[in-house]
Amino acid sequence: MKTRRSFLQKASISALALSLPTIPMISYSKTQSDPLFNQDEKPLRVAIMGLGSYGTRVAQAMKDCKRAKLVGLVSGTPSKIESWKKEHNIEDKNCYNYENFDQIKDNPDIDAVYVITPNGLHKEHSIRAAKAGKHVICEKPMATTVADAAEMISVCDQMGVKLLIGYRMHFEANTLEVVRKRRAGEFGEIKFFQGLSGFIIGDPTQWRLDPVLSGGGAMMDIGIYSINGARYMIGSEPLWVTAQEVKTDPVKFKEGIDETIIFQMGFPNEVVASCLSTYSMNYLDKFYLNGTKGFAEMQPSTGYGPIEGRTHESPLDNPHVTHQTTQMDQMAAMILDGKEAEIPVDGREGLKDMRIIEAIFEAAKTGEKVALV
């Protein structure tokens, strides 16, 4: 069985913030002189909610973190709790199920909850964590509707806690290098972006093919990479979308589950993005950015392994660091120290992607261009 997780790990070779201001880059080198990784500073103490395949990946990556530490677990499967407790040396008092989870409000040893449950549960679980006074890190997509995403932001604001979305690519070194070059004008006037995101999904009974739990098909799962990527690569916000849907297997890809969507986004200054999101083709993990003075090409562009690519001048050759390790250390610095991410990862960033996704679904259904402003 191939899932998005295994695909991105093994076979990956293939996005609505405002124009991003130039701000100092956060260093990712783990040196004693780097204040981000000062061993005397307390770590962000994190509980993972949802102990599935991606939760496992995050937990393993956190073993190498300097500012973030896994200290708590939330799962509806007792056997997982037991095995994770042993592997990660988690105390009994920091373990919860979905029924008693709200008691985490009385636990001063947990600072944040990383929600890695199915998309359709993100709103409930994130709001419960926020109402318990814990900072929230939520996997993308942050919700299944714009309304739910907005409510999550509102509750976190009311409770005075951070809401961060698991945009791991926003901390990846080669990705940041391309964004930095674009901001510096090295590609000239940006004209075009292409994003290809897809793989062949396996088990037809999995939650990603359940409309209630997933909120959609390939677009929610993998197409969001091209949406988000277009935004940070181009550096502005889309004004409109058009889309066309193709469905070859209406049994596997039932109503509410998109199989393949080809979509276009129009940006200011007549910049166009042309993208593909699919559950029916492998080896699609590619970004291409074209400007009047040069280009950047990344393939793979969002996979778990090393991100590879080149510009018109040279290869992208920053050393690979496990994305989730970097992400969690940087998010710890954001929560504990007030650091700013070079590419936003807050709830409002996630809300922007949700608005685009809803517009793409509308455009695919109606055949009409849908305005975003």
**Is the peptide bond preceding residue 315 cis, with omega within 30 degrees of 0?**
no
CA distance 29 to 27: 6
Return the structure tokens found at 241: 């979308």
Distance CA 129, CA 6 (A): 29
Amino acid at site 148? D
Instruction: Please tell me which residue in 28, 96, 225, 288 is annotated as part of the active site.
Output: 225
Asked whether the bond before 300 is cis by omega within 30 degrees of 0, the reply is yes
What residues have CB less than 8 Å from 157, skipping those under 6 apart?
none
Extract the tokens encoding 62. Answer: 């956190």
Residue 225 is a catalytic residue: yes
Phi, psi of 195 (to 5 degrees): -130, 125
> How far is the first Cα of the chain from the last one, in angstroms, to the nearest whole number?
41
Nearest to 296, CA basis, from 308, 279, 306, 285: 308
Q: What is the CA radius of gyration of the chain?
A: 20
- 304 among known catalytic residues: no
* Active-site entry in 69, 123, 140, 181: 140
Say how far apart CA 269 and CA 335 lie, in whole Å: 36
Give the tokens for residue 293: 């003075």
CA-nearest of 83, 74, 17 to 50 is: 74
With 0-12 / 13-18 / 19 or more C-beta atoms within 10 angstroms meaning exposed / middle / buried, residue 318 is middle
Q: Which backbone phi and psi does 74 adopt, to 5 degrees?
A: -135, 120
DSSP 346: B
Catalytic residues: 140, 225
